[in-house]
Structure 1
Amino acid sequence: MDVNGVVAEGFEPVREAFAANFSRLGERGAAVAVYRDGHKVVDLWAGARDVDGPAGAAPWEQGTAQIVRSATKGVAAAALLLLHQRGELDLDAPVGAYWPEYKAAGKERTRVRHLLAHRAGVPVLDRPLTPAEAADPDLGAAAVAAQAPVWEPGADHGYHAQTYSWLTGELIRRVTGRPAGEWIADEIARPVGADLWLGLPQAQRARVGRVGPVDAPENTGALRTRPKRAVAEAYADPDSLTRRAFAAITPLPDENAPAYRAAALPASNGIATADGLARFYAALIGEVDGGARLFTPQTMELARAGQSAGPDRVLVVNTRFGLGYMLHGAASPLLSPGSFGHPGRGGALGFADPETGIAFGYVTNGFRTSVTADPRAQALVRAVRAALA
C-alpha cells in the first residue's frame, strides 16, 4: 500500500503505524492528520476512496472526506459551548428556559449541562423515528420533547447515541434562530478553515467516499475486539437501553444516501476530512497557523471538566464525559489523562490534548463493530505518543 502525504521529523512512527493498519488490520481507505501547537505535523492518506471499490479505483485523495458518525458530537458540543462563551447560553439554566416544550413528561429540571454530559435521561424514544422522520428537525425535536426520561435527569448518565442529535440541534436552533448545520458552517468550520460539514452541501458530494462495514482480519490476535459478555448481552437484548438507544432511528439509515448526508444530525452524520477534524480540535486549544481560535482557555477547561464517570447505563462499561466530550479512560483511550474528544462508532476519532498541544483526526471508510476504541485509531494514537516520547 502506497502511503501518501508527509510527516514532520520525529513523527515517523505515525507513518509506520498508518501503513501497518493496511497490512495488518484490514484498512481499506483512511487518512490521519495531527497538529501540534496549531501547526500540522502529520498529513497522511492511502487506499481506495470507496470501501466497496477495488484497490486502485477511485483512490483516496488528500481532500477525501467521510462520514464520521459520533465524532460529530464533539462539533455539536463546541457549538453549545461557544454560545455559552458568548453569553448566549447558561449551562446551568433549565433546557425549558430556551425550549419550553421540553419541560413535558417530568423533564422540567433538566439543565443544559445535563444534555452535554449524557445525563438527560432520554437516550431512547418509545417510538423510534424512521430515517426520513429523523432528518426532519421539527419531528426529532418534538419526539425528544415529549419523551419521558428513563432516569431522573441529572441523577445518572448513559450515552445518548441518537437522541443527542435533536437535543443539541434544537437547542442551537432555539438560541440562535438558525439550523445547527448552518450555524456550525458559519461560526466553526469557516473561521478555522476546517473541511467539516453537518448537512453536506451538494457542491461537496464528489469528495465523499462510500462507507460500509469491514471485518477484522483473522490474524490480528489480541488486537481483535471481543466485547465482554455483559456488553454483548446488552446489544443482543431488544429491550435493553443499549439496543433501544442505538435503535432510536429504525431502520438504520443508508449512510451513503445523498438525502441522509444532506441532513443535519449532530449525533451521527457529520462529514469531515482527517485534516478538518484535527484542525477543528487544534482550534479548541489554541490558534491554528497563528490565526483563528475557537475556545478561550476557560471554555477549554469547561469542555474537559469531568461531569459523568462510572457505569454507563447505555454502553454498559465505565465511561467518562466532560461537557459533550469523552474523556481519556479505559472505554475511550486518548493521548493522556487531560485529553478530550470523541470517537465515531466503528472507526473515526478526533481529540485534543492541551498539555502536549496535540490535535488529532482520523477518518476511515471501513467501519468495525467497536463503539469507542477502534484498533486502527488506537494504533495511531500510540504512535503519536511514541513520537512525543
Structure 2
Amino acid sequence: MSATHDAQQIPPTAEATRVDGHCDPRFTAVREAFEENFRERGEMGAAVAVTVAGRTVVDLWGGWADPARTRPWERDTLVNVWSTTKGPVALCAHLLADRGLLDLDAPVARYWPEFAAAGKEKVLVRHLLSHRSGVCGLREPHSLEDLYDWGLTTARLAATEPWWEPGTRSGYHAVTYGFLVGEVVRRVSGLKPGAFLEREVTGPLGIDFSVGLPARDHGRAAELVHAPAGAIGEQGASLREVTPLLIAAMANPPLGAAQANTPEWRAAEVPAANGHGTARAVAQLYGVFAGRGLFGGRRLLTPEAVERAREGQGRCVDLVLGAGLGSESEIGLGLWLSGPQGAYGPNPRAFGHDGFGGSFGLADPEAGVSVGYVMNRMGSRIADDPRKRALVEAVYRAL
C-alpha cells in the first residue's frame, strides 16, 4: 500500500534507532510507542503497519536488519514471522470453505483418507484449525531434514495417534498446524498453502509475503537474533514446565533463530512457521479479516466466512502451553481470540496470532483495523511481548 496524501513523513532519528516511513498524525502515539521500543525494550530492527478500513495509516520501519548493524532495516526488508504465518494459512482454508469446496465440519479423512489411521477417523477439519485434533506433534524423532520433506512429514502425521481425545481441548500445534491444514488445502486445491496463497491473495493484491522465501529475495531478509538463553518462560507459569506434549509440539525438531537464518529453512515450506514478509504485508493479510472479507477493492471472503473464522471453540488452559499464556484462552478457527484478557486489544472479539519471539497480526472487524508487527530481535515471552502490548495499546488510544 502506498502512503496516503495526508501521511506524515517521519525523518530518520538517531543512527542507533533510525525510524523511517509515514504515520497519519492521528496515530502519532503508535510512532512514539514504536520509537520507545528501540529506546526501552531492546528492539534491534522492526516494522509496524496499521490499516483502517483498508487504508494504510501507519507504515514505519527502523533499526538494523543484522546484529552487526551493517544493514539498515529498509521499507522492503523481509523477516521470518514464525507463527504469525498461521493466520494466512487459515485464510487459505476459509477461502476454500467459503467457495463450498471444503466443509469445516467434515472429517479430515474425507479429503485426506490416510489421516483416518490410529483413531483419527472422527477428527474434523475444524479441529485442525482450532488446535484440537490431538496431533500437536509427532511421537517419533523428526529432524529438520525430515521437516523439510512435505511428503514424509504429512505421512507421519497421518499415521500417528492423537495425544488426547480430539475435539475436547486445545493443545497448541506449533509446527504441525501448517502441515495438517496445509495438506487439506493441497488435497482440495491441488496446491500447497504457499502457492495457493500466492495465487489467490498475495499475487492479485501485490502483498509482499510468502511461505518460505524465494532465493531471489534472500538478500532482503533480516537476520533473526534469539531470545536470551533460559528466558523462554518468564510470563506467569512457564514453558519451563516441560511435558511430553510440549516436547512433541515445540521441540521435535528444535527450532530457533539459527535454523531460521539458513537457506534450507527459507527454501522449505513450513506453513505454521516460515512465512516471510513485511509488517505492511502482515497488516494487509490480517486486513482481509478486519475488512470482513473485503480488502484492496477485492472481496476475498464473505462476511459470514469472517464470522466463522472467529467462532470460539471453547476456553481452556491450553494442553501444550499450560498456564504460560497467563490464563485460559480461546482459539477460533485458525486464530486466537482477544477475549477478556485483551490479547488483541479491548474488543474481545478481535482476533489474531503471535509469532515466536514477538511478531503479530491483529484483525478487529468492529473497528475495521488491522495491525502487523515484525522484528528480528526475538523476545522471551510465550505471547504478548511487551513491544506488542505497547503498539496495540497505542493503536487503540488513537481510534
Report whether the alignment pairs 1:374 with 2:382. no
Closer/same/farther in 2, CA of residues 135 and 48 from structure 1, 3 Å limit? same
2:342–2:348 contact (8 Å) kept in structure 1: no
Q: 2:85 maps to which residue?
A: 72
Deviations for 1:233-254, whole angstroms, at most 9, x for unmatched residues? Answer: 42xx2x4312321013246571
1:113-128 equivalent positions in 2, closer than 5 A: 113-128=126-141
Number of equivalences:
374
Closer/same/farther in 2, CA of residues 138 and 225 from structure 1, 3 Å limit? closer
Report whether the alignment pairs 1:20 with 2:27. no
Q: 2:334 maps to which residue?
A: 324
Root mean square deviation of aligned Cα: 1.9
CA distance in structure 2 between the partners assigned to 1:306 and 1:43 by the alignment: 31
CA distance in structure 2 between the partners assigned to 1:331 and 1:315 by the alignment: 16
CA distance in structure 2 between the partners assigned to 1:250 and 1:363 by the alignment: 22
Structure 1 residue 2 displacement after superposition: 2.5
Of residues 244, 249, 253, the one that matches 1:240 is 244
CA distance in structure 1 between the partners assigned to 2:301 and 2:141 by the alignment: 35
Q: Which stretches in structure 2 are left out of the alignment for 5+ residues?
A: 1-16
Of residues 293, 298, 302, the one that matches 1:292 is 298
1:195–1:276 contact (8 Å) kept in structure 2: yes
**Under a length normalisation based on structure 1, what TM-score does the superposition of the two structures give?**
0.92
2:82–2:355 contact (8 Å) kept in structure 1: yes
Closer/same/farther in 2, CA of residues 316 and 90 from structure 1, 3 Å limit? same
Structure 1 stretches of at least 4 aligned residues deviating more than 6 Å after TM superposition:
none
Deviations for 1:208-263, whole angstroms, at most 9, x for unmatched residues? Answer: 111121449xxxxxxx983334x2442xx2x4312321013246571011111111
Of residues 58, 61, 64, the one that matches 2:74 is 61
Structure 1 residue 369 displacement after superposition: 1.7
SS class of match (2:372):
strand
2:239–2:321 contact (8 Å) kept in structure 1: no
The one-letter code of the counterpart of 1:177 is: G
CA distance in structure 2 between the partners assigned to 1:225 and 1:130 by the alignment: 24
Q: 2:10 maps to which residue?
A: none
Closer/same/farther in 2, CA of residues 285 and 191 from structure 1, 3 Å limit? farther
CA distance in structure 2 between the partners assigned to 1:248 and 1:328 by the alignment: 29
CA distance in structure 2 between the partners assigned to 1:249 and 1:214 by the alignment: 18
Of residues 290, 315, 318, the one that matches 1:312 is 318
CA distance in structure 1 between the partners assigned to 2:329 and 2:203 by the alignment: 32
Report whether the alignment pairs 1:198 with 2:205. no
Percent of aligned pairs sharing the same letter: 43
Q: Which stretches in structure 1 are left out of the alignment for 5+ residues?
A: 217-223
Q: 1:221 maps to which residue?
A: none
1:39-50 equivalent positions in 2, closer than 5 A: 39-50=55-66
Of residues 348, 366, 372, the one that matches 2:359 is 348
Q: 2:349 maps to which residue?
A: 338
2:227–2:357 contact (8 Å) kept in structure 1: no
Q: 1:103 maps to which residue?
A: 116
Q: 2:288 maps to which residue?
A: 283
CA distance in structure 1 between the partners assigned to 2:287 and 2:217 by the alignment: 23
**Under a length normalisation based on structure 2, what TM-score does the superposition of the two structures give?**
0.90
